[in-house]
């Protein structure tokens, strides 16, 4: 069933049928009625969205690109909060949200064609590595876009936090409590899926801006307190979930030279560390303090509640949404937004047992 078919049926031009749906004021009420009647009779349900998009050169859809398989996003409380904020703006603006699939084979390489084939008016790009082909494909289309957290890309509006300063502040807290033996649990530095202790070189070459900056912040804090960074083990996980945190804890919390404080780049990792420690008779915070990052809802209700860096993910989504919408409307809005963070001190940190 098409517009034209209805037009024939009613004995008017296709244009008039189109107007019946899109500009009610352009035709008489009576004719409009007749048209809808015919449409109902023939089972026509309004102008085809694809034809319409082709003609109008817009889709009223925003594409979301996520650095991991899509299904991970729904397992990540930070991403979910972000999407909540984002969707409230896009829905308000009557835009659909297209979660772009980019399954990617076993290699973890995501298919850049996904971005090329998405019928969207703009992109929200969430936390991609600097070199991701998917990112380049998306940006290459020269549609309006907003990049979240990373990477900082020439010409692409950006929303994020001051990762370095936030990390620094979070490391200064255990430092003030008197800690001197640290370990760090990081999520991926680069998208190659490596797991284990990352040396200095790898830390500095990290393809993920966020990882790079947070490590830099920790380092600045520790060195500022006179502690040599080279002695701080940085355990890199290929992702960010509790299981990986547990594995990292297993590697880091072995009896010999156990750290008294663990800094984690995410709450998921931190929570995993706490779980592993607790399960192995190492009590938090008495034996080891743990600091997270994100302030995921679970952080507040965990046992012990997690000391962490709070960032407002929903707000981030809101801001990103607003920036994109104003680009789509060709208004000018801010080309970058920075969100505040604050350290939330809870029960997972305390002074070290023996100083």
Residue range at the interface with DNA (CB under 7 A); choices 13-21, 132-140, 209-217, 281-289: 13-21
**8 A C-beta contact, residue 271 and residue 302:** yes
Q: Which of 92, 131, 192, 231 binds a second copy (CB under 8 A)?
A: 92
The H or E element spanning position 290 is strand 289-291
The reply on whether position 54 binds DNA by CB under 7 A is: yes
Q: Degrees (nearest 5) of the Cα angle 276, 258, 165?
A: 85
Residue (48 or 192) nearer to DNA, CB: 48
Q: Which does 85 bind (CB under 5 to 8 A by kind): DNA, a second copy, none?
A: a second copy
Backbone angles phi, psi at 94, to 5 degrees: 65, 35
Residue (16 or 186) nearer to DNA, CB: 16
Q: Which of 8, 14, 130, 326 binds DNA (CB under 7 A)?
A: 14
Q: Which long-range contacts (CB under 8 A, 24 or more apart) does 96-99 make?
A: 96/59, 96/60, 96/61, 96/62, 97/61, 97/62, 97/64, 98/61, 98/62, 98/63, 98/64, 99/64, 99/66, 99/70, 99/73
Q: Which does 329 bind (CB under 5 to 8 A by kind): DNA, a second copy, none?
A: none
The reply on whether position 74 binds a second copy by CB under 8 A is: yes
In the complex, minimum distance from the CB of residue 275 to a second copy, in angstroms, rounded to a whole number? 12
Q: At what angle do helices 242-252 and 267-279 cross, to 10 degrees?
A: 60
The reply on whether position 14 binds a second copy by CB under 8 A is: no
Of 142, 139, 153, give the one whose Cα is nearest residue 207. Answer: 153
Cα first-last separation, the chain: 79
The reply on whether position 283 binds DNA by CB under 7 A is: no
Return the DSSP state at 205.
Answer: T
The reply on whether position 141 binds DNA by CB under 7 A is: no
Q: Which does 3 bind (CB under 5 to 8 A by kind): DNA, a second copy, none?
A: DNA
Beta strand pairing call for 196-197 and 234-236: antiparallel
The reply on whether position 40 binds DNA by CB under 7 A is: no
Q: Which does 97 bind (CB under 5 to 8 A by kind): a second copy, DNA, none?
A: a second copy
For the chain, the 3-state helix, strand and coil shares in percent, each to the nearest 5, are 45, 15, 40
The reply on whether position 279 binds a second copy by CB under 8 A is: no
The site string for DNA over 57-96 (x = CB under 7 A, - otherwise) reads: x---------------------------------------
Residue (4 or 283) nearer to DNA, CB: 4
Of 100, 91, 106, 166, give the one whose Cα is nearest residue 128. Answer: 100
Using CA atoms, how far residue 272 sits from 26, 50, 182, 250, 275, in Å, is 63, 46, 17, 10, 5
The reply on whether position 125 binds a second copy by CB under 8 A is: no
**8 A C-beta contact, residue 156 and residue 177:** no
> Contact residues for a second copy (CB under 8 A)?
43, 45-47, 49-54, 59-61, 69-71, 73-75, 80-81, 83-85, 87-88, 90-92, 94-103, 113-114, 116-120, 137, 140-142, 298, 301-302
Task: Give me the residues that bind DNA (CB under 7 A), please.
Answer: 2-4, 11-16, 18-19, 21-22, 26-28, 31, 46-48, 50-52, 54-57
């Amino acid at each position: 069933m098409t517009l034209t078919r209805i037009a024939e049926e009613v004995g008017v031009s296709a244009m008039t049928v189109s107007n019946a749906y899109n500009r009610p004021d352009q035709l008489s009420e009576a004719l409009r009625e007749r048209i809808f009647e015919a449409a109902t009779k023939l089972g026509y349900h309004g102008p085809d969205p694809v034809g319409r998009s082709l003609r109008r050169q817009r889709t009223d859809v925003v594409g979301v690109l996520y650095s991991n398989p899509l299904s991970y996003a729904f397992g990540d409380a930070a991403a979910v909060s972000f999407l909540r904020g984002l969707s409230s703006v896009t829905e308000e603006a009557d835009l659909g949200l297209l979660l772009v699939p980019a399954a990617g084979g076993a290699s973890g390489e995501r298919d850049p064609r996904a971005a090329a084939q998405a019928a969207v008016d703009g992109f929200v790009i969430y936390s991609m590595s600097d070199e991701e082909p998917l990112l380049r494909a998306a940006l290459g289309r020269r549609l309006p876009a907003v990049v979240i957290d990373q990477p900082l890309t020439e010409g692409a509006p950006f929303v994020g936090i001051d990762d370095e300063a936030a990390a620094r502040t979070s490391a200064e807290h255990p430092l003030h409590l008197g800690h001197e033996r640290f370990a760090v649990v990081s999520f991926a530095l680069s998208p190659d899926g490596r797991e284990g202790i990352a040396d200095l070189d790898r830390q500095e070459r990290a393809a993920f801006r966020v990882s790079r900056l947070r490590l830099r912040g920790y380092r600045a804090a520790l060195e500022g307190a006179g502690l040599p960074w080279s002695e701080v083990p940085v355990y890199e996980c290929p992702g960010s979930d509790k299981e990986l945190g547990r594995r990292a804890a297993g590697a880091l919390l072995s009896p010999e030279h156990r750290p008294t404080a663990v800094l984690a780049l995410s709450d998921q990792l931190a929570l995993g560390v706490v779980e592993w420690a607790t399960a192995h008779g190492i009590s938090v915070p008495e034996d080891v303090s743990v600091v997270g990052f994100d302030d995921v809802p679970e952080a507040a209700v965990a046992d012990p509640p997690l000391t962490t860096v709070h960032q407002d993910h929903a707000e981030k989504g809101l801001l990103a949404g607003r920036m994109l919408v104003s680009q789509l409307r060709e208004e000018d809005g801010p080309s970058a937004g920075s969100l505040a963070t604050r350290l939330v001190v809870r029960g997972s940190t305390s002074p070290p047992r023996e100083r």
